Structure 1
């Protein structure tokens, strides 16, 4: 298997309050590696015409830190279909595998702005980088309608746009992060999450996002509708729908698994205070129907 190697430098601003690389920043590293790989190949024009990101899945295995070893990303083409290909990644810091991920991509027709089929030349290039598919544990999801759970107003920043005037795929993960922090703001403040000396934190174990429709810049906020799908002894699963409340358009569906941890990163039981705060925005209870 041939892998493309990309070295990412961790910036000071990439850290969260636990001095770990923030979960969203990993997607930024993946994007940089993917762009570098394309520009270094025979089809750099793909970036001029546009590549639509259809979905991404990240599994976080260990924390990464500022200083010391840089981030090394190994990527390859895990699958190539008629009009879509999947890029797989292993993200390491030193000898530690800190994350695995995949990105589903589709080339865009420069004239129509719609997804097109891969050319024979593009497929041959992808075959040169072909490798095994990565398999992840399926994240819980639920059948539900708009307006349930907690709604957070998402305001797009001008700096979050890509060269085509759409909200960049990485920014969607920032919106998911903002929504879940805001949903638990009251209990977060009372339990002291986020302080540098806090003995409790929430670690992102895995997250997945499916992109349904491009988002554009505007002054009016979009809506992030968050529900809790499952609460275990030390972890919880959430789902967030990013919508345009004016046009009733679904832009993305994100799912995340969070683990409650102590200062050393070891799982700890979820408190009754947190469970009580989650109850009003939990879909079908902890194990009821509707959650798969």
Structure 2
């Protein structure tokens, strides 16, 4: 199983009053990693894959340890745990080599902006996503 790796910078404004990264900010970090995964790494130059838009249908997040602000970025690993006909689930870990701060998942629905409706996952998108499916999970059509 391949995992997408994203190096996420921490910002001074990410901190709460206790000097930790605020819980809401972690959702922004997940968004940055997800966009980097789905759009920058979309298959093929000029491919329409993932370009029409997507919406978040669900987030789940487990805060395991506080992350204190520092100048070094934090790593975000992302992978796919489920591919459905018109949705996919992305799992994440926000971590350093020796500690995991957050485990999370997001259900993403591809969206047709012109018709303002959800759409099915294309075969090209499915092939791309399949490379990142967790070994313990099976995708469904």
Give yes or no for the alignment of 1:172 onto 2:29.
no
Q: TM-score, normalised by structure 1?
A: 0.43
Specify the alignment match of 2:101 in structure 1: 251
Count of residues in correspondence between the two structures: 135
Which whole-Å CA distance do the structure 1 matches of 2:136 and 2:122 have between them?
17
Change (3 A) 1:163 1:155: same
Q: In structure 1, how many angstroms separate the alpha carbons of the residues matched to 2:68 and 2:116?
A: 38
How far did 1:287 drift? 2.1
Partners of 1:183 and 1:268 in 2: how far apart? 19
Quote the Cα distance in structure 1 between the aligned partners of 2:81 and 2:32. 18
1:286 to partner: Cα distance: 5.9
TM-score (norm 2): 0.86
Shift of 1:265: 3.1
Q: CA, structure 1 residues 183+168, in 2 after alignment: closer, same or farther (shift >3 Å)?
A: same
Distance 2:59 2:126 in 1: 21
Alignment correspondent of 1:186: 41
Q: Does 1:276 align with 2:133?
A: no
Which residue number in structure 2 is paired with residue 138 of structure 1?
none
Q: How does 1:1-16 map to 2 (within 5 A)?
A: none
Mapped contact 1:148–1:225 kept (Cα < 8 A): no
- Give yes or no for contact 1:230–1:286 (8 Å, CA) kept in 2: yes
Q: Is the 8 A contact 1:160 1:171 kept in 2?
A: yes
- Poorly superposed stretches of 4+, deviation over 3 Å: none
Whether contact under 8 Å (1:152, 1:223) holds in the other structure is yes
Q: Does 1:237 align with 2:77?
A: no
Choose which of 156, 163, 174 in structure 1 pairs with 2:17.
Answer: 163
- In structure 2, distance between residues paired with 1:181 and 1:276: 18
CA distance in 1, matches of 2:11, 2:49: 28
CA distance in 2 between counterparts of 1:277 and 1:242 reads: 23
User: Which one of 219, 224, 228 corresponds to residue 80 of structure 2?
Assistant: 228
Task: Report the aligned-residue RMSD.
Answer: 2.2
Taking a change above 3 Å as real, the CA distance of residues 148 and 242 of structure 1, as seen in their structure-2 partners, is: farther
Higher relative contact order (CA closer than 8 Å, sequence separation 6+) = 2
Q: Does 1:150 align with 2:1?
A: no
SS in 2 for 1:166: coil
Contact 1:231–1:286 (Cα < 8 Å) also in 2: no
Q: Equivalent residue of 2:57, what SS? A: strand
